[in-house]
Amino acid sequence: MNSSTPHTILQRRDFLGLSVAAASAALLTACTPSGRSGGQRIYAGDAAVRAAEDARPSSGKTVTAALTAAPFAADLGAAAAGGTLSTWGYDGAMNGPLLRGSVGDRLEVALANRLPEPTSIHWHGLALANSQDGVEKLTQEATAAGAGFNYGFKLSHPGTYWYHSHMELQRERALYGALIVDDPDERKDYDHEWVILLDDWLDGVTGSPEEVLAELNQGMGSMMRGGHMAMGSVSPFLGGDAGDVRYPLHLFNGRVPADPDTLAARPGDRVRLRIINAAGDTAYRVGAPGARLTVTHTDGFPVEPKDADAVVLGMGERIDALLTVPAGWTPLMALPEGKAGLALGRIRAGSGREPVPAALPSRINGEVFDGGRLTSAASVRLPRKPVTVRHAVRLTGSMMGYNWGINGRRFAMDSPYDGALAVRQGDRVQLDFINPSVMWHPMHLHGHTFQIGESGARKDTVIVRPGATVSVLFDADNPGQWLYHCHNAYHAASGMMGVLSYVR
């Protein structure tokens, strides 16, 4: 096992990689409204990163787990030719094991890499030590094929999170799982809990994620040849184009609708749903015809509860909702927004007729919203405070050129700090996600949970519709180098990523 810290790769660039003259010029423009410049970057191995970790509350308990990333044969029934397909996952399953601890616990996960290529794990949504964030070259060296890496960090906030590979398109296979952080003081006013992982799937059925990216990069030519590009997938809810990719399958806890996951309950029971959208290019509209949802949390953090007929989750987002179980069978449907298909689970409470996928409604309307439209619970709302640094994050690129980027720049792992957004510890930061493109983007920031505007939900991933600007606020309290990016797997692979860079 190798737990090497990134000192060696990172300390070569102590002063932004600028010449002395350029650095001096940069210092003159420090503290302008558009950002911080000058100063030394605070890398993952910095004492400030360790100090922030030490300052987090501790329960004194350690939760340990082991994950093996490896190829395996997945059984998706008749959906795959021959009954099984070969893909990559954790511990040989379509969903990695559920990892669970309480606030203040230290989570230690030993990763063994049995994949034929390097890998890393990102702990999505957690405010954790930067050195454990799992971003190759930025916070650690990728873990080579045959090697291992020991992750260890404190769990700082309760909620519904998840983990996934952060290497290229590995997440588009089955390299992901749920991570739940419990609040020991919470009063549990429900009878059951159902953790739900949603995913769009094509690996081993119609091609591979790498083939899809190659097609997207070729542009309209491959569309004419009838490849994987989505044609005419439109969602008024998302403001236009719903996605780039056509998927043969949509999975609910790793299962197809013909063989659905089933939750047994009694009529009148209350169920807490913890819904996670692990997809690459698909938003899901989730609802249970015959029952309403009461949304209580998004991205782990509580909101003012709100009733819904359905909720929409972009890639990377989570929603917690309560549902009161009707008598009989209740379908829990995840409809791919603007695309054909269905991911399905079901609740069985007594007898009655089983829901047949073909007989289910093809749409769920009524009161429908996404987590970005909710109000934060007062208990987690940021205190009002003047913004000390503000950055514009323009979401640029187009489907034609497949040149997705940030502020016109396509991210390159070899020069991650080009165009980085500088902040100092203690800043109140405002990011303006400005979307001049014709597609929506689910924008995700590592290591922080921002707030949407003055009183919106606390989130780490938010839908930014075409033509819209979403302004988010957070306190810079977790030093290090943090990636932010579109959680569309293909947009991120194409370059819609950047670094939020703590400097001193």
Judged by the rule CB under 5 A, the positions of this chain that interact with Cu ion are 441, 486, 488, 491
Give me the least distance between CB of 493 and Cu ion, in Å please: 10
CB atoms within 10 A of CB 5: 15
Rounded to an integer, what distance in angstroms lies between the CA atom of residue 285 and that of residue 333? Answer: 8
CA 369/CA 456 separation, integer angstroms: 13
Nearer to Cu ion, 139 or 488 (CB): 488
Integer CA distances (angstroms), 185 to 102, 272, 348, 458, in order: 10, 17, 30, 20
Strands 343-349 and 176-182, bridge-based pairing: unpaired
Nearest CA among 355, 223, 232, 243 for reference residue 288 = 355
Indicate the residue among 53 and 299 with the shorter CB distance to Cu ion.
299
Q: How far is the CB of 188 from Cu ion (least distance, A)?
A: 36
Helix (H, G, I), strand (E, B) or coil at 161: strand
The Cα 260–Cα 113 span in angstroms is: 30
Q: Which lies closer to Cu ion via its Cβ, residue 149 or residue 484? A: 484
**Smallest separation, CB 315 to Cu ion (Å):** 9
Q: Least distance in Å: CB of 488 to Cu ion?
A: 4
* Residue number with CB closer to Cu ion (142 or 283): 283
Residue owning tokens 């949603």: 198
In angstroms, rounded to a whole number, what is the distance separating the alpha carbons of residues 411 and 190? 44
What are the CA-CA distances from residue 490 to residues 4, 178, 399, 442 (Å)?
29, 22, 11, 12
Of 53 and 317, which CB lies nearer to Cu ion in the complex structure?
317
Give every CB contact of residue 241 below 8 A, 6+ residues apart in sequence: 233, 234, 235, 338, 399, 438, 439, 440, 466
Sequence-distant (≥ 6) Cβ neighbours of residue 341 within 8 angstroms: 247, 249, 250, 335
What is the nearest approach in angstroms of Cu ion to the Cβ of residue 369? 20
Look at residues 343, 364, 345 and name the one whose alpha carbon lies nearest to residue 354. Answer: 345
Q: Between residues 449 and 488, which has the closer beta carbon with respect to Cu ion? A: 488
SS3 state at 502: strand
Q: Are strands 343-349 and 261-264 parallel, antiparallel or unpaired?
A: parallel
CB of 435: closest distance to Cu ion in angstroms? 9
Q: Which is nearer to Cu ion, 257 or 397 (CB)?
A: 397
> What minimum distance in Å lies between the beta carbon of 12 and Cu ion?
31
Closest approach, Cβ 7 to Cu ion, in A, equals 33
Residue 499 identity = V
Q: How far apart are CA 272 and CA 393, in angstroms?
A: 35
**3-state class (DSSP) for residue 218:** helix
Nearer to Cu ion, 76 or 464 (CB): 464
**What's the min distance (Å) between Cβ of 432 and Cu ion?**
16
Residue type, 109: V
**Backbone CA torsion sign across 181, 381, 436, 418:** negative
**Closest CB to Cu ion among 299 and 427?**
299
- Shortest distance, position 395 Cβ to Cu ion, whole Å: 7
Pick 330 or 488: Cβ nearer Cu ion? 488
Nearer to Cu ion, 300 or 442 (CB): 442
Please state the closest distance from residue 264 (CB atom) to Cu ion, in A.
39
Q: What is residue 312's DSSP assignment?
A: E
